[in-house]
Amino acid sequence: MRYGYVRVSTKDQNIERQMVAMSGANVPAQNIFVDKVSGKDFNRPAYLRMVGRLQAYDELYIKSIDRLGRNYEEIVEQWNMLTKVKNIDIVVLDFPLLNTKNNVNGITGKFIADLVLQVLSYVAQVERENIHKRQMEGIIEAKKRGVRFGRPPVVFSRDFAELATLWKSGRISLRKASGVLGVSHKTFAKWARDS
C-alpha cells in the first residue's frame, strides 16, 4: 500500500503543494495523513495513526524531509523504526537520495538513504553548535561595548520607599500601595520584599 504524510506547522498554512505531490506519486487520497502541527516532535495525531496502519512492504511518500520533522536525531530514529522495524520503504519526493526503494549499482536504497540521513544529522548538529558559538561570541562582544541584556533595571518612584514602609507596617493595604504607583499588587509585593 502507498501512504502519504503531509505536515504544515499551523492551521493557517496551505497543504496544496504537498497534496499535489502526493497525487503525482499516485498515493490514494484516503491514504494521505495530514497534520497541522509543529514538527518539533513526533507526537502528532495523524502521524501516529499512520504509523499504526503501516505494515511491512508498504510505501510512505513525503514531499520533503522537513515535513517529517525538524530534529534530525529524531528523524533518524523514526526513519530507522519505519524502515527496519516496520520494514517499509520511504520516498522523499524532493530528495531522490532519500528513496529506500532505489537500487544503484547493487547498493540498496535503504543503505544510501541511511548514509545520507546520518550526514544530514551530523551537518545539522554542527550547524546548531556553530549557531550557539556565534551567539555566545556576539554576546561577549556586545557586553564589551556596554550593551545590557535582559529587562532594564527597575527605577522606583520617590514614593516607593514610603509606601513599602507603610505596607510592611500594616498601615496601608497592598492594593492601595500598588494603586498609587500604578503597578499590580503582585509586582508591588515583590519589589517591597526585595528592597
Q: Within a domain: residue 131?
A: no
**Which whole number is the average pLDDT over 143-171?**
84
User: 12-36 as b/e, with b when 16 or more CB fall inside 10 Å?
Assistant: eeebeebbebbeeeebeeebbbbbb
Q: Of 106, 122, 138, which one is at a domain's C-terminal end?
A: 122
Which residues pair with residue 38 across a beta bridge?
none
Do 107 and 48 have their domain in common?
A: yes
**Which whole number is the average pLDDT over 110-124?**
78
> Which 8-state DSSP code applies to residue 99?
B
**Which whole number is the average pLDDT over 116-140?**
82
**Which whole number is the average pLDDT over 67-78?**
85
Structural domain including 172 reads 158-194
Pick the residue with more confidence: 126 or 173? 173
Distance CA 72, CA 123 (A): 9
Do 184 and 114 have their domain in common?
A: no
- Kindly report, residue by residue over 74-103, the tens digit of the pLDDT: 888 899 899 989 999 999 999 888 888 877
Do 166 and 84 have their domain in common?
A: no
Do 114 and 34 have their domain in common?
A: yes
Which residues pair with residue 188 across a beta bridge?
none
CA atoms within 13 A on the CB side of 43: 2
User: What's the confidence (pLDDT) of residue 130?
Assistant: 82
- Average confidence score pLDDT of the chain: 87
What global pTM score does this model have?
0.64
Return the active site residues: 9
Asked whether residue 107 carries a pLDDT value surpassing 70, the answer given is no
CA dist list (Å): 95 to 74, 107, 165: 18, 17, 68
Do 29 and 115 have their domain in common?
A: yes
The structural domain count of the chain equals 2
User: What's the confidence (pLDDT) of residue 27?
Assistant: 97
Q: Within a domain: residue 186?
A: yes
Distance CA 156, CA 164 (A): 11
Do 109 and 163 have their domain in common?
A: no
Candidate from 107-111, 138-142, 167-171, 172-176 with smallest mean pLDDT: 107-111
User: What's the confidence (pLDDT) of residue 35?
Assistant: 96
